[in-house]
């Protein structure tokens, strides 16, 4: 689905990225109810006032499918409808991927956090629509949709209804109400519900599977979405729900029989396949978890090798640990702490805020809050100290005890996370985090706990 539609807006490149990132993250926030196979569309009021074509034999509908792109906002592709009316010599593309950004970044972000994502239907000539995809170098397929005249009339009336001022805006939901599901639902209505009734079975994948697969070309985004999404999107999709994907909708319709009879046989739903333009799709990259795992494992192993014990002396009340080659080791620990503190604090803040103050249900009860705490952002203070000083952080015994307690609680929470995950008590898919992240976080916590801090040691006189 195409979150950014510059054909109705005048956006700077920075604005496009800002809005697109917010809308992509909206995939985390849609509620994920079990939806019925049959979608009940609003009744077309005042249907008799809609001006219909004189002859539906001269009206053709085309499915427009746009391949995935290489930007954050277009990795799922896009779907539109092209309507050619030879009665009036009109040729227009109906696109449900538009939104109004004129209210500015602050208002848009505020509405986004409240769950308000108002998209709208836009209509434009094919030359304009296709020109945009050519600039974005995305493959576009066009397929003629075989419909009876009665079905064409039903679809035409629905499009006319959607163009009314009171209906043109809709509440966008990434999985359940977007540019592709609009086309799916309208075609299903024209077919008398047959498309939905024949796609009741469960699909082979979950919503999380599709998110990870479609963002395989942008590993950092794939990892972030995997962390921020809760277990709502881990249930299997139905085949009907799977049709939120543009390529899957086209694939299904290519194999779906129409109600148009030719020589006593049903014609296919789609025919006259045409490649409007063709480009190479973005290449999938190795999982971002491979880079995260290696980026954590290598420095942590190095730091453990640098670990050495401080012997008990007359100037200390207890033995402790430090790092060899302190100038190098502590700065490496500081850099790693800086990155982890920022990442954990930001992820934890998003999930925590979502649970406490947002209506977005897919941010609630996220198991990953056991790993990523909003308060971890305070680790930046210690990270900067290690980076500058190149030695352990000396503090009062009271503060030292507080820090140690924090680490103990963090490690216990991580162990609880492992227990809940492995015993199946939570239905959230966290396999990648268990393999590539959790062991490293626990090991790093133990390392910093022992070597990163030292209490002020007083001399004792007997």
pLDDT tens track, the chain, 462 positions: 433 333 344 445 444 544 444 444 444 444 444 444 456 899 999 998 999 999 999 999 999 999 998 777 778 899 999 999 999 999 999 999 887 766 665 666 666 666 667 889 999 999 999 999 999 999 999 999 999 999 999 999 999 999 999 999 998 888 889 999 999 999 999 999 999 999 999 999 999 999 999 999 999 999 999 999 899 889 899 999 999 999 999 999 999 999 999 988 999 999 999 999 999 999 999 999 999 999 999 999 999 999 998 765 544 445 578 999 999 999 999 999 999 999 999 999 988 887 887 666 666 789 999 999 999 999 999 999 999 999 999 888 899 999 999 999 999 999 999 999 999 888 899 999 999 999 999 999 999 999 999 887 654 544
442 Cβ neighbours under 8 A, 6+ residues apart = 411, 414, 415
> Which element (helix H / strand E) includes 202?
strand 202-206
| SS3 per-residue string spanning 52-74 | CCCCHHHEEEEEEEECCCCCHHH
The answer to whether the beta carbons of residues 221 and 24 sit under 8 Å apart is yes
Nearest CA to 277 among 129, 178, 97? 129
243 Cβ neighbours under 8 A, 6+ residues apart = 180, 181, 184, 199, 249, 252
Q: What is the largest CA-CA distance in the chain?
A: 109
Nearest CA to 376 among 405, 349, 408, 415? 349
Count, residues in the chain: 462
131 Cβ neighbours under 8 A, 6+ residues apart = none
The answer to whether the beta carbons of residues 89 and 34 sit under 8 Å apart is no
Neighbour count for residue 319 (Cβ, 10 Å)? 10
> Which element (helix H / strand E) includes 333?
helix 326-357
- In terms of DSSP bridges, do strands 307-310 and 320-323 run parallel, antiparallel, or are they unpaired? antiparallel
Domain map of the chain by residue range? 13-277, 288-455
CA distance 445 to 300: 10
C-alpha distances in Å from residue 302, one per residue of 7, 33, 351, 452: 53, 47, 32, 15
| Residue written as token pair 């976080």 | 441
Q: Is 284 exposed, middle or buried (0-12, 13-18, 19+ CB in 10 A)?
A: middle
The answer to whether the beta carbons of residues 18 and 106 sit under 8 Å apart is no
The answer to whether the beta carbons of residues 369 and 349 sit under 8 Å apart is no
By 3-state DSSP, what share of the chain in percent is helix, strand and coil, each rounded to 5? Answer: 50, 20, 30
Nearest CA to 93 among 67, 58, 131? 131
């Amino acid at each position: 689905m195409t979150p950014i539609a510059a054909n109705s807006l005048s956006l700077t490149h920075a604005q496009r990225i800002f809005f697109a990132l917010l809308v992509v993250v909206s995939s985390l926030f849609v509620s994920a109810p079990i939806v019925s196979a049959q979608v009940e569309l609003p009744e077309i009021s005042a249907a008799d006032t809609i001006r219909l074509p004189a002859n539906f034999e001269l009206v053709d509908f085309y499915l427009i499918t746009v391949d995935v792109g290489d930007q954050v906002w277009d990795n799922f592709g896009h779907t539109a409808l092209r309507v050619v009316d030879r009665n009036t010599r009109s040729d227009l593309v109906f696109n449900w991927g538009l939104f109004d950004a004129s209210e500015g970044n602050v208002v848009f972000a505020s509405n986004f956090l409240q769950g308000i994502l108002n998209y709208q239907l836009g209509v434009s000539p094919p030359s304009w629509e296709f020109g945009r995809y050519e600039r974005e170098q995305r493959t576009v397929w066009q397929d003629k949709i075989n419909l009876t005249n009665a079905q064409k009339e039903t679809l035409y009336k629905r499009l006319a209804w959607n163009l009314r001022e009171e209906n043109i805006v809709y509440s966008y939901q990434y999985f359940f109400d977007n540019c592709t599901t609009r086309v799916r639902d309208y075609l299903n209505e024209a077919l008398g519900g047959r498309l939905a009734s024949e796609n009741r079975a469960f699909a082979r994948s979950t919503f999380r599977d599709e998110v990870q697969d479609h963002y395989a070309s942008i590993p950092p985004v794939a990892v972030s979405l995997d962390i921020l999404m809760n277990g709502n999107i881990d249930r299997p999709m139905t085949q009907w729900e799977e049709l939120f994907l543009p390529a899957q909708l086209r694939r299904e319709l290519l194999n779906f029989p129409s109600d148009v009879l030719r020589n006593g046989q049903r014609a296919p739903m789609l025919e006259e396949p045409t490649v409007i333009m063709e480009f190479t799709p973005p290449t999938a990259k190795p999982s971002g978890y491979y880079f995260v795992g290696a980026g954590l494992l290598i420095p942590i192993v190095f730091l453990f090798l640098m670990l050495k014990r401080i012997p008990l002396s007359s100037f200390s009340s207890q033995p402790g640990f430090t790092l060899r080659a302190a100038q190098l080791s502590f700065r490496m620990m500081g850099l790693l702490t800086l990155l982890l503190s920022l990442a954990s604090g930001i992820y934890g803040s998003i999930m925590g805020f979502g649970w406490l103050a947002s209506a977005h249900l897919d941010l609630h009860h996220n198991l990953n809050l056991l790993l990523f705490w909003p308060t971890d952002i305070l680790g930046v203070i210690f990270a900067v100290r290690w980076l500058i000083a190149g030695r352990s952080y000396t503090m009062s015994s009271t503060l030292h005890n507080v820090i140690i307690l924090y680490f103990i609680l963090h490690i216990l929470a991580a162990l609880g996370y492992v227990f809940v995950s492995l015993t199946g008590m939570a239905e959230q898919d966290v396999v990648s985090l268990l393999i590539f992240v959790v062991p490293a976080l626990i090991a790093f916590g133990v390392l910093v706990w022992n070597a990163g801090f030292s209490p002020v040691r007083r001399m004792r006189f007997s």
